[in-house]
């Protein structure tokens, strides 16, 4: 499950103007319509509905520079081959670096967590 952000393409998906799959490489993917740390009329910031806690869950928190260069299916395949969070992150990073090579690659960062293992 992917959380939502406040980028221009995410808002275009919400408005039905583009498909979800078009977000990753949309030319306005780095333009934000809302950010944390700014005063808003509505002070609440919610990126998704709370998820129920379950044993064996794995979480990835990553920047767009990471997410843009690896597909969800690749993330899941790396997860299934990994015995621990460090191994999962290393496998994904290899793909991110390979896919970003020769492009105007954004900086990337990621944190992974295995819960209840």
For position 95, what pLDDT does the model report?
A: 97
Q: What is the pLDDT of residues 50-104, one digit of tens each?
A: 777 788 888 898 887 888 899 999 999 999 999 999 999 999 999 999 999 988 7
Report field, pTM of the whole predicted structure over 0.85: no
Task: Give the pLDDT confidence score for residue 51 in this predicted structure.
Answer: 73
The confidence band for 35, taking pLDDT boundaries of 50, 70 and 90, is low
pLDDT value of position 10: 81
Helix, coil or strand: residue 7: strand
* Mean pLDDT across 28-44: 64
Question: Dihedral (C-alpha) 72, 74, 76, 77: value to the nearest 10 degrees?
Answer: 160
Q: Which residue has the tokens 């408005």?
A: 15
Mean pLDDT, range 40-49, rounded to an integer = 59
Please name the helix (run of DSSP H) or strand (run of DSSP E) that holds residue 58, with its range, or none. strand 58-62
Among 88, 56, 68, 95, smallest CA distance to 2 is for 68
**pLDDT tens digits along 71-80:** 999 999 999 9
Q: Give kind and range of the element (H or E) at residue 18.
A: none
Q: In the predicted model, what is the mean pLDDT of the chain?
A: 81
């Amino acid at each position: 499950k992917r959380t939502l952000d406040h980028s221009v393409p995410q808002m275009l998906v919400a408005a039905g103007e583009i498909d979800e799959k078009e977000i990753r490489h949309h030319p306005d993917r780095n333009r934000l319509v809302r950010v944390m740390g700014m005063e808003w009329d509505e002070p609440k910031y919610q990126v998704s509905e709370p998820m129920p806690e379950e044993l064996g869950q794995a979480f990835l928190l990553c920047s767009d520079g990471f997410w843009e260069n690896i597909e969800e299916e690749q993330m899941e395949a790396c997860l299934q081959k990994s015995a621990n969070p460090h191994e999962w992150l290393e496998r994904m990073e290899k793909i991110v670096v390979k896919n970003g090579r020769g492009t105007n690659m954004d900086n990337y960062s990621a944190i992974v967590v295995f819960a209840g293992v």
